[in-house]
Structure 1
């Protein structure tokens, strides 16, 4: 494993171990169980001690996954996938909606910075945010390392496999687009205070507007997984027009967002289970605003499957092109040899 891949994988267990040490201390809360930190509440419902134990468990899982990916025994490939997959799942369960919320609020934060309001930057100096970023990056690095070490796949019928992969890409991409567009529509209606979407202050409405634009942008980029401009850069992209889009440029962001959406889904579900009666009254009072969060698990799963299907389709397409090129080269060689014999 290259250093650029190993480093983010190893930073995650280091940050989790430091977080656990803080959580076990008498005077310092666990960075992910700190009710006073907007970015550090992922494990708050479970307390400092449970958060510390969980952090040690996840750190150990990351180290085991790192060892599994570094190993050379190809015969253990299924076991490696299980170990890395388990570490990735535990890592995602450590996160909450923080990182996804940060992405959604980014347009509003940039606008406030341009206006000279630097309070938002101070809010980002959060130990909980640092831990969550390190875990998220570690999960992505682990999955990328596993994919790069995966044995080359050679289906018997590349053409049929390509047709099936194309159909799966289209199906999952359509689903992955619908969920964020529905969510964006509710936030736009909330911003304009449409009937059934009113009762929110200006800051909440502006934040909702930023989330709407972020969701729409995500849906458009997801659309590229099944469009020609998702394989070759369009003509208006000066300097890149006509060039092939690197597979990782589409797959890595899509998988990262899918993981963040699933992590946010976990936080939403836990919040609903722990919500007091008064909070449920607010949810039921504005169901068109609150209930679209239930689409997030579907969004996360479908986006991940769309990205993986896109990756498989691109690989199969490349295999088919290489096979066709090799066959054309053989035919041309045979033709030249035949012409030489005839002359």
Structure 2
């Protein structure tokens, strides 16, 4: 009898109707997970730079890190990396149930259905912006940054490049996962 009382108190809000959205294909789930992992290497490099780890920067770039270490530069690097990882993690919501019904523990919106366009529009815009930034950096910005005398060169430049190259895939991966989410959620209308 005590168990029954506890159960009724916990279910304050009625559960939404049964979810009739088909599950995402396995390869789409893998694409969503890959989107999360694309931000990890650059985040780790950025945090190391922000904390003053010698990453091969010189001149103004090293001066910026030295001036900001261990203060606001480290806070900025950690915050930017956490923001990027959080945004990348939201891609997983497009293949999980919490992308269609918000978790109950969220204040105010917990347990409610997510309107498909409320997820599709920001994800599509984010994908477009990320893809544009990736193409811009590959086509021009990256070459200019690497030709700068302050940028890391040699092995340090190779490490930085290897850490930032996965970001090129972030936008297209989000686009593929978003397109599948739209296909699965909007088809029942």
TM-score normalized by the length of structure 1 = 0.40
Contact 1:268/1:293 (8 A) holds in 2: no
Shift of 1:272: 2.9
Name the residue aligned to 2:123: 254
1:237 partner SS = coil
Question: How far apart, in 1, do the equivalents of 2:43 and 2:92 lie?
Answer: 16
Name the residue aligned to 1:288: 159
Name the residue aligned to 2:100: 231
Name the residue aligned to 2:6: none
TM-score normalized by the length of structure 2 = 0.68
**Residues 147-296 of structure 1: matches in 2 within 5 Å?**
162=22, 165-194=24-53, 196=55, 199=62, 200-201=65-66, 202=68, 204-269=73-138, 270-274=140-144, 277-279=147-149, 282-284=152-154, 285-296=156-167
- C-alpha offsets along residues 297-341 of structure 1, whole Å, 9 cap, x if unaligned? 21110011111111212235x47xxxxxxxxxxxxxxxxxxxxxx
Higher relative contact order (CA 8 A, sep 6+): 2
1:282 partner SS = coil
2:114 partner SS = coil
Task: Mark the CA change 1:286 to 1:234 in structure 2 (over 3 Å): closer, same or farther.
Answer: same
Task: Return the structure number with greater helix share.
Answer: 1
Question: How far apart, in 1, do the equivalents of 2:173 and 2:117 lie?
Answer: 18
Shift of 1:196: 4.1
- C-alpha offsets along residues 21-70 of structure 1, whole Å, 9 cap, x if unaligned? xxxxxxxxxxxxxxxxxxxxxxxxxxxxxxxxxxxxxxxxxxxxxxxxxx
Structure 1, gaps ≥5 residues long = 1-158, 320-343
Structure 2, gaps ≥5 residues long = 1-19
